[in-house]
Amino acid sequence: MTLLDLANPTRFLSLTAKILPWLAGATAVLLAIGLYQSAMAPDDYQQGATVKIMFIHVPNAWLAMFVWGVMSVAALGTLVWRHPLADVAAKAAAPIGAAFTFLALVTGSLWGRPMWGTYWEWDARLTSVLILFLMYLGLIALWRAVEDPSRAARAAAILTLVGAINLPIIKFSVDWWNTLHQPASVMRIGGSSLDRAFLIPLLVMAIAFSLLFITLHLAAMRNEILRRRVRALQMMQAGKPAA
Amino acid sequence: MTLGPYESFIVTSYALVGAVVVILVIWIAADYRRQKARLRELEASGVTRRSGRGAADIS
């Protein structure tokens, strides 16, 4: 099965129907293992039990950026390769990415209050992630404002690629500026600085949340294809040509 | 398992993530049912795809 085969929405729907139950099952099993390991992880010598927030904050923060990355590739697919499913993929991913970004912001805030003494600080990392969240909301609003999917697709693709500039800013904000937020401790030159007792549950949760995203994304793409079929049939019923 | 003096922050974080994930799952599942129902209604009213395939048939 090639990417070209998946350009056929009917074939994509058929494949999705087959793999979604397996993905959902794998996600549930990994989430259960990750939550158990998170609960059993020892307290940190400085943070105490508050370190457990890391096991849900970091996967959400990682996915907040990863989903925009997926949307950026899809935006290229729309503008350059005109792949018929590229815009479907981007539109379906946006609300899920917005939810992960919201969770990264709120869990970070709930982690920051006991550790930093404040829920919020206008520093580079927190502000750049807030901007990412607002860009997700802007994209969702754009898709809702333009009725014709093909017109909305091009505008959304351009906005997505412009917004991708924010991804390296988020990643390197802790290195470029003085921030309250700690520097990278997992993906860094020289390997992770986390102890295995924290690193393993964190990686399991990160994989579980990534699988959760893939499952939700495929299901949302399936919905979007069906929504476009509904629209095309409604246009036929009204006697107008479908766009 | 004891969560120390900041238990409420930890429990709220996990509860919020759980609630948002459940809302996402329910929202996507409900949207799927809504689109399938609309397609069936349209097909029942005699509108069919150019390919002649059932629009609600995804397998």
The CA distance from A242 to B9, in Å, is 51
Smallest CA–CA distance, residue B41 to chain A, in Å, is 10
Residue B47 has pLDDT above 80, yes or no: no
- Kindly report the pTM of this predicted structure: 0.90
Torsion B38-A77-A24-A42 (CA) sign: negative
Q: What percent of chain A stands above pLDDT 70? A: 93
More confident residue, A189 or B30: B30
Identify which of A13, A43, A102 has the shortest CB distance to residue B58.
A13
Chain A contact present for B4, CB below 8 A: yes
Residue A208 has pLDDT above 70, yes or no: yes
Residue A74 has pLDDT above 60, yes or no: yes
Are B31 and A220 a contacting pair at CB < 8 A? yes
Chain A contact present for B2, CB below 8 A: yes
The pLDDT, as a whole number, for residue A75 is: 96
The pLDDT, as a whole number, for residue A10 is: 85
Give the residue from chain A lying closest to B17, CA to CA: A103
Torsion A202-A205-A211-A215 (CA) sign: negative
Mean pLDDT of the A195-206 span: 92
Residue A58 has pLDDT above 90, yes or no: yes
Chain A contact present for B20, CB below 8 A: yes
The CA distance from A226 to B40, in Å, is 11
Mean pLDDT of the A226-243 span: 80
Q: In chain A, which residues touch B (CB < 8 A)?
A: 10, 13-14, 16-17, 39-40, 43, 48-50, 52-53, 56-57, 60, 95-96, 99, 102-103, 106-107, 110-111, 113-114, 212, 216, 219-220, 222-223, 226-227, 229-230, 232-234, 236-237
Domain boundaries, chain B: 18-42
A113-129: pLDDT as tens digits: 998 899 998 989 999 99
The ipTM, to two decimals, is 0.89
Identify which of A49, A50, A103 has the shortest CB distance to residue B20.
A103
Residue A118's Cβ-side half-sphere holds a number of Cα atoms within 13 Å equal to 7
The pLDDT, as a whole number, for residue A65 is: 97
- List chain B residues with CB under 8 Å of A212: 21
A80-117: pLDDT as tens digits: 988 889 999 999 999 999 999 999 999 999 999 998 89
Chain A contact present for B12, CB below 8 A: yes
B5-46: pLDDT as tens digits: 889 999 999 999 999 999 999 999 999 999 999 999 988 888
Mean pLDDT of chain A: 90
Query: Both tokens of residue A243?
Result: 């766009």
- List chain B residues with CB under 8 Å of A222: 32, 58
Torsion A186-A190-A191-A197 (CA) sign: negative
The pLDDT, as a whole number, for residue B55 is: 56
- List chain A residues with CB under 8 Å of B31: 220, 223
Residue A174 has pLDDT above 60, yes or no: yes
The pLDDT, as a whole number, for residue A84 is: 82
Are B3 and A49 a contacting pair at CB < 8 A? yes
Are A234 and B45 a contacting pair at CB < 8 A? no
Q: Under DSSP, is residue A4 helix (H, G, I), strand (E, B) or coil?
A: coil
